[in-house]
Structure 1
Amino acid sequence: MSEEFIYFLWQFQYFRNTDLRTIEGESLRVIHPGYRNPDAGPDFTHARLFIGDVEWVGTVEAHIRAADWLLHRHQYDRAYDNVILHIVWEKESIALKRSDGSAIPTLCLSERTDRALLQRYQTLLAESGDIPCAGQVTNVEPVRRTAMFDMALLQRLERKAAGVMALFHSTDLDWEETTYQLLAAAFGFQVNTEPFGQLSRQVPLKILQKHRDNLLQMEAILFGTAGLLGSEKPDEYEAELQREYRFLATKYQLLTKKMPSYSWKWSKLRPANFPTLRLAQFARLLTFKNSLFSALIQTDDSAVLLRHLKVTPGSYWQTHYRFGKTSDKVLATLGHTAAENLLINAIVPLLTAYSHYKDQPDYRERAIRLLEQVPAENNRVTRIWEQLGIPIRTAFDSQASIEVYKNYCQLKKCLSCQIGISLLK
């Protein structure tokens, strides 16, 4: 038994509610069960009940057993003084009181719950696969699955936007710097997200902007601060970068900010994803003459944005994936799939965050339209859903499916999921 199941029973009133009586023997009639509280405090707010002949408006708290109220020390917490009903699964004769000493009525749900409903819930929890309802999910009406995926996508956008807003405040409310740091982390493509993010914090954008007409100097600052100019016998190009770095790092006081080379991960990466090539591509992107932030938020045309992102680095990187090692066929230009990844993981969250900042929903709508234009990501999670017969066609679908998988299926929060609720019903 879990409290989530009790929340589900109470929220949807899935128990026999005729002739309701509290454990203390008082008659009970539910006018409104209240609204689930996602924050600290009682589990439901704004509930309306008749207990005896008196109408009560307040909060409702749920536990598996009455003793949990005491275990959680709610009797000393003034936030629980407005609790008008305590709902439990196990029946116990324990008198509960608020901090002022007044009694709290209790309702036991176990004796009023359909055992078949409980069995279906326990069956879901007992599933050991990636998705608890894998064997039943296609039995759910498509409109309910769609509604759940839509809700999950919005939740994902909001969570990512919150991260962008935190970054925005850390940059002293500078959208250009925020865009720069956000793109840098995205250029890490998960494996090197952290070192890319650290590098962008070590080298402020305003320094790089002074050299955006000189790609060599731009690369010198980035590669040098990244700790990637360490060859004992550098080739001609790396030696030139080293000379430029020593001068510019002294000028901008960057020597103490140099990262250790071991910050970067190379293992199991294909050459096209080596941090050196990604950093060269990033440097080229930063040579954009106008405001990169403005260019990225002023359109909902994915083709335009992808053209901005599919940059080609300097000539050295047409024949190198890393310093000192020449390659015949280098995929130097940022690939289409990689550009789509940047759009999904950087531009879409940026637009959503800016929508909140400006209080203009249109920017969030642009973000959603972009996701609808881009093909679905191909990864382990999306393949799981596809194998279950759930179509994942666009980035909107893939992002929603990832959110459902990570924050509902993996946590077995079936009773917070419209698909799980539908199956229990």
Structure 2
Amino acid sequence: MQESFLHYIWKNQLFNKRQLQTVAGQPIEILHSGFHNLHAGPDFKEAKLSIDGLQWVGAVEIHVKSSDWYAHNHQTDENYDGVVLHVVFEHDKEVLDQHGNAIPTLLLKGLIKPGVLKRYEALMLQPAKVLCESQLKNVRVITRLSMLERALVERINQKSAMVLALLEQNNGSWDETAYQWLARGMGFKTNAEQMLCLAQSVPIKFINKHHQLRQKEALLFGASGLLNVDLNDSYANGLKEEYLFLKQKYNLKEGLSYNEWHFARVRPANYPTIRIPQLAALLAKHSQLFQLFIEAEEIKNLQKQLQVETAEYWSAHHRFDAASSRKVNGLSKSSINNLIINVTVPLLGAYARYTANDTYMEQAVNLLSAMPKEQNSIVKQWQDLGWNVSSAFDSQGLLQLYRFYCSNSQCIACNIGAELIKQ
């Protein structure tokens, strides 16, 4: 039994309400179930109830067991002083308010409509990773699509919240934030945080003071710590010499160390010694990164703007002191699409929230709709279940649906699961 299921039952009043009584025998009449509170504090606020002939307006707190009140330390939280009814599935302990009086408790066990409870339990006992997979075809198309869109917006908002947190650290500078967010995206998961730290150690104002690609590379590689090893490579030593001069000129703080970067079990195309030159090339091509991303409307134009050529040295090397016959010059098409999804879209979502202008959110969604779907095991699983995946709009929404609902068995919080249980 999940507490979220009981929230659903209370919110939709899916239980027998005839001759309701508290565990102490006080008659209850529910005049208004209250408003579902998704933030800190009691689960439902502004409920209107009649308990033992007296009308109350206050909060309703819901638990699987009444003893959860103490397990969650509500007895020490003043936010719960206004609770007028405690709704539980099992009553295993009397709960007292701050004055030592018993809080009226409603026991739902035995009252929930049998069909609803049976369908919920059957769904929760499914052995599949996607619990509703055998019943997915029974869900209305409009329900599936509305949940997909809801999940996509949640995903954009979660990522945009990270952008806004970064913006606050940067004292409201969108240019600095866009630069740092791009650097993080260039880390492609494995070195994402390292790339973010790198960008934070070399402010964009110093990068933009130099128009030569070599100097931008020197600043980034020097701060990365990847030059702080014995190298016989003239190109690397030249960057190191350039960096030592610029470090003193700009009074730069110490950056990262070599050992912080991940090379093991990473494809050569994703080596930090490849991604850093690509970042430098992007910074050389675009001095106004924020404007590039925020004005992005045509997907083909944005893809073209993100195409870059790195210094000639990197067409024959993946690492310093190690020549390679495999050429990696610039970003691949899949890497560019990844940056649009994970850099451009969250920036647009963040700017939409910052300016309270939904136009930028629409722009983000339109970009995803115009992009090809992502290829991974989660997307394939949805396709195998018969879900039509035609764009990044679909794949991003389905990734969110799987990771934040299916993987956590949050079926009751999902429109799809809720429809199956209520049928």
Which one-letter code corresponds to 2:89 in the other structure?
W
Aligned match of 1:219: 217
Structure 1 equivalent of residue 376 of structure 2: 379
**What is the deviation of 1:353?**
0.9
Show the counterpart of 1:240.
238
What residue number does 2:25 align with?
Answer: 25
Q: Over the residues paired in the alignment, what is the CA RMSD in angstroms? A: 2.1
Q: 1:318 to 1:124 in 2, by over 3 A?
A: same
- Cα displacement (A) at 1:289: 4.9
Equivalent runs, 1:342-357 vs 2, <5 Å: 342-357=339-354
3-state SS of paired residue (1:415): helix
Aligned counterparts of 1:118 and 1:306: Cα–Cα separation in 2 = 50
| Percent identity of equivalent pairs | 38
Displacement of 1:200 in angstroms is 0.7
Q: Residue in 2 aligned with 1:301?
A: 298
Shift of residue 128, structure 1, vs aligned partner = 4.1
Q: Which amino acid aligns with 1:232?
A: D
Which residue of 2 is the match for residue 67 of structure 1? 67
In structure 1, distance between residues paired with 2:65 and 2:222:
61
Distance 1:45 1:280, change over 3 A: same
Partner SS for 2:417: helix
Partner residue, 2:48 = 48
Please list the CA deviations of residues 39-82 of structure 1 after superposition, one character each: whole Å capped at 9, or x if unmatched: 22111112223335444322111122333334545445432232
1:362-420: CA deviation from partner (whole Å, max 9, x where unpaired): 11111111111111211222122112111222111111111111111111111111111
* Contact persistence 2:30–2:49 (CA under 8 A): yes
1:396 pairs with 2:383: no
CA distance in 2, matches of 1:20, 1:424: 24
Instruction: Judge conservation of contact 2:208–2:287 (CA < 8 Å) in 1.
Output: no
Are the aligned partners of 2:67 and 2:93 in contact in 1 as well (CA < 8 Å)? no
Give 2:47's aligned amino acid: A
SS in 1 for 2:285: coil
SS in 2 for 1:47: strand
The reply on whether 1:253 has 2:251 as its aligned counterpart is yes
- Amino acid corresponding to residue 407 of structure 1 in structure 2: F
How far, CA to CA, are the matches of 1:71 and 1:352 in structure 2? 38
**CA offsets 1:311-360 (integer angstroms, 9 cap, x no match):** 11122222222223333441312111111111111111111111122221
**TM-score normalised over the length of structure 1:** 0.93
1:101 to partner: Cα distance:
5.0
CA distance in 2, matches of 1:339, 1:2: 41
Which residue of structure 2 aligns with residue 130 of structure 1?
129
In structure 2, do the counterparts of structure 1 residues 395 and 289 end up closer, same or farther at CA, with 3 Å as the change threshold?
A: closer
- Report whether the alignment pairs 1:181 with 2:174: no
Task: From the superposition, tell whether residues 15 and 251 of structure 1 become closer, same or farther in structure 2 (CA, over 3 Å).
Answer: same
- Listed as ranges, the gaps of 5+ residues in structure 1 are none
1:265 aligns with 2:262: yes
Q: Which residue of 2 aligns with 1:337?
A: 334
Q: Which moved more, 1:384-393 or 1:49-58?
A: 49-58
Count of residues in correspondence between the two structures = 422
2:145 and 2:267 map into 1 onto residues whose CA distance is 36
Question: 1: CA distance between counterparts of 2:67 and 2:221?
Answer: 61
Worse-matched range after superposition: 337-346 or 55-64: 55-64
Measure how far apart 1:169 and its partner are: 0.8
Q: 1:78/1:331 Cα in 2 relative to 1: closer, same or farther (>3 Å)?
A: closer
Alpha carbons of structure 1 residues 86 and 343: separation in structure 2 relative to 1, 3 Å = same
TM-aligned CA distance change 1:315 to 1:72, over 3 Å: closer
Aligned to 1:10: 10
8 A contact 1:27–1:51 mirrored in 2: yes
Q: 1:5 to 1:325 in 2, by over 3 A?
A: same
Q: Which ranges of structure 2 fall in alignment gaps of 5 or more residues?
A: none
- Distance in 2 separating the partners of 1:85 and 1:290: 59
Aligned pairs for 1:61-140 (under 5 A) are 61-91=61-91, 94=94, 96-100=95-99, 103-140=102-139
Change (3 A) 1:79 1:328: closer
Cα distance, 1:285 vs structure 2: 0.5
Q: Which residue of 1 aligns with 2:285?
A: 288
TM-score (norm 2): 0.93
Distance 1:173 1:268, change over 3 A: same
Q: Which of these residues, 364, 372, 379, is aligned with residue 367 of structure 1? A: 364
Q: Residue 58 of structure 1 aligns with which residue?
A: 58
Distance 1:50 1:206, change over 3 A: same
Q: Which residue does 2:156 correspond to in 1? A: 157
Closer, same or farther in 2 for the Cα pair 1:299/1:289, shift >3 Å?
A: closer
Confirm or deny: 8 A CA contact 1:78 1:99 kept in the other structure. Answer: no
Q: Residue 308 and residue 83 in structure 1: after superposition, are their counterparts in 2 closer, same or farther (change >3 A)?
A: same
The residue that corresponds to 1:324 in the other structure is 321
The one-letter amino acid of 1:37's match is: N
Which amino acid in 2 is paired with 1:264? W
Q: Distance in 2 between matches of 1:11 and 1:420?
A: 15
Could you tell me how far apart the structure 1 residues matched to 2:332 and 2:16 are? Answer: 59
Shift of the 73–296 alpha-carbon distance from structure 1 to 2, 3 Å rule, reads closer
